[in-house]
Amino acid sequence: MDIAVPATPKVSIIIPARNEEVCLGDCLTSLVTQAGVVFEIIVVDDDSTDRTRTIAESFAGVRVISPGPLPSGWTGKNNAVVAGAKAARGEWLLFTDADTVHLPGSLARALAEAKENRAELLSYSPEQIVVTFAEKVVMPVIFAELASQYPPAKVRDQSSGVVAANGQYILVRRDAYESAGGHGAAADKILEDVALARAFRAAGYKVHFRYGAGAVRTRMYRNWHELREGWTKNLALLFPHPVRRAAGLFAWWAVAWLTVPLLIAGAALYLRVRRANFERGVTLLATALGPPVVSYLLLRSVRAHRRGEVSWKGRVYSERASAREFSRPSGSGIDAALESRH
C-alpha cells in the first residue's frame, strides 16, 4: 500500500511499538488512508522480538526507526516517543498507540477541532472494544470510576486544576510541545500522558480532552493476563485514594447483591457503570460481576507500586521511580474525562 511522503507534512504521526504484531497492521491500514491533511507516519520499533518491524516496513512510505538504548530511569514508551518526535518534520505531532484504529477522516477533523478550540494539546479517549469475558466484566467498571472521579467538564475547564490526556491519542502543536519540555520532561513517569498534559497546562497552553468514539477505537487488552498487568501498572496512580476506592466499590457491590435494597442499589450501580459508554449487555455484565474484580486490581496495583514490582512488556520499572509517582497521587487520569452520551 503506497503513501506519498511530502516534503513538509502538516502532521507527523508517531507510533511507539513494542511487540505489536497482533494489532499494528490494522492501525497502519487505518492511518495510511487518512485524507484531508498532509501527514507522515513514523513507527518507532522499541526492540521488538516479533514481526512488528516487518509489518511496519511492509507499508510503503512509513518510516521505521529504532529509539536507541533505554536511558537509565526512563520508561520504554517515553524513550520511543522522544525518538519519534526528534525524527518528525510536522508542525503538529500525533502520538498514538499501535492498538488503535482510526476512523476515516479523523485526523483532519482532529486538527480542525484543535484549531477551533485554540488547543495546543488535543487528546481523545478512544472507544473501547471488549471481546473476552474478562474485558467485558472489568473495563466498563474502571472507565466508569474514572469518569466519576474526573468529570469531563472539569477536565476541559482550564482553571479547574484537573488535567488529563490519553496516551493512545495525543495531538500537539510542535512548538508548544517543545516549549513545555515534551515527553523528556516526564521521562520516568509511568503515566506519561497525564504528566505531559500537566506540563502543557503549567506552561499556559490549552488542553482539550474528550471521549473520541467518532475518531478512534482501541482494544487495550486481549486476555486476562494482559489486562491484569496493564491495570496493575496504572490503577494506583489514577486515583488519589485507591485503597479507599477499592473498599467502597466492593461495599457498594455487596450491598447491591446481598441486602434488602437490592433493586435500588443495583440500579444506582448500573447507572454509574453506564457512564463508561459500553453497550447495554456489557454494562449489565460489568455491573453484576465487575466491582470485586476491579477492587482486587486496585489493591494489586497499590501493592505492586509500594513494592516496586511494576512491569510492562518485559520491563520492570524501578522502585524509586514508581514509588515517587505513587507517593503523589495524580490529580487527573489517563482516561479521566470519558464523555457520557447521556
Name the average pLDDT for the chain. 87
Output the CA torsion sign for 89, 91, 96, 102. Answer: negative
Look at residues 249, 234, 239 and name the one whose alpha carbon lies nearest to residue 304. Answer: 234
The C-alpha R_g of the chain, in whole angstroms, comes to: 20
The answer, yes or no, to whether residue 259 has pLDDT greater than 80, is: no
Gap between the Cα atoms of 79 and 84, Å rounded: 9
Gap between the Cα atoms of 10 and 132, Å rounded: 39
Write down the pLDDT at residue 91.
97
Gap between the Cα atoms of 339 and 125, Å rounded: 9
Tell me the CA distances in angstroms from 327 to 14, 91, 240, 241, 319, one per residue in order: 31, 36, 10, 11, 12
- pLDDT digits 0-9 by tens, 67-103: 989 998 899 999 999 999 999 999 999 999 999 999 9
Report yes or no: 158 and 248 within 8 Å, Cβ to Cβ. no
With H, G, I as helix, E, B as strand and everything else as coil, classify residue 157.
Answer: coil
302-308's contacts with Cβ under 8 Å and 24+ in sequence apart are 302/235, 302/236, 302/242, 302/243, 302/246, 302/326, 304/232, 304/233, 304/236, 305/236, 305/237
Looking at this protein, which amino acid is placed at residue 71?
Answer: P
The answer, yes or no, to whether residue 188 has pLDDT greater than 80, is: yes
Looking at this protein, which amino acid is placed at residue 332?
Answer: S
Averaged over 231-236, what is the pLDDT? Answer: 90
Query: Taking the C-alpha atoms of 187, 29, 111 and 105 in order, what is their torsion angle to the nearest 10 degrees?
Result: -160
DSSP state of 183: G
Write down the pLDDT at residue 320.
40
305: which 3 cell numbers?
507500586
Q: What is the pTM of this model?
A: 0.84
With H, G, I as helix, E, B as strand and everything else as coil, classify residue 48.
Answer: coil
3-state helix, strand, coil in the chain (%, to 5): 50, 15, 35
- pLDDT digits 0-9 by tens, 102-150: 999 999 999 999 999 999 999 999 999 999 999 999 999 999 988 887 7
Look at residues 101, 89, 74 and name the one whose alpha carbon lies nearest to residue 13. Answer: 89
Look at residues 5, 1, 22, 21 and name the one whose alpha carbon lies nearest to residue 13. Answer: 5
- pLDDT digits 0-9 by tens, 223-233: 999 999 999 98
Q: What is the layout of strands, in order, in the sheet containing 39-45? A: 63-65, 39-45, 11-17, 92-96, 169-173, 121-125, 207-211
Phi, psi of 50 (to 5 degrees): -110, -150
Output the CA torsion sign for 144, 147, 148, 150. Answer: positive
Write down the pLDDT at residue 263.
65
Write down the pLDDT at residue 312.
67
With H, G, I as helix, E, B as strand and everything else as coil, classify residue 173.
Answer: strand
CATH architecture of the domain with range 11-126+166-218: Alpha-Beta Complex (3.90)
Gap between the Cα atoms of 150 and 332, Å rounded: 7
176: which 3 cell numbers?
508548544
Q: What number of residues does the chain have?
A: 342
198: which 3 cell numbers?
500537566
- pLDDT digits 0-9 by tens, 18-37: 999 999 999 999 999 999 99
With H, G, I as helix, E, B as strand and everything else as coil, classify residue 236.
Answer: helix
Domain ranges of the chain: 11-126+166-218, 224-324
257: which 3 cell numbers?
447483591
Tell me the CA distances in angstroms from 147 to 166, 196, 216, one per residue in order: 13, 20, 18
Gap between the Cα atoms of 10 and 260, Å rounded: 60
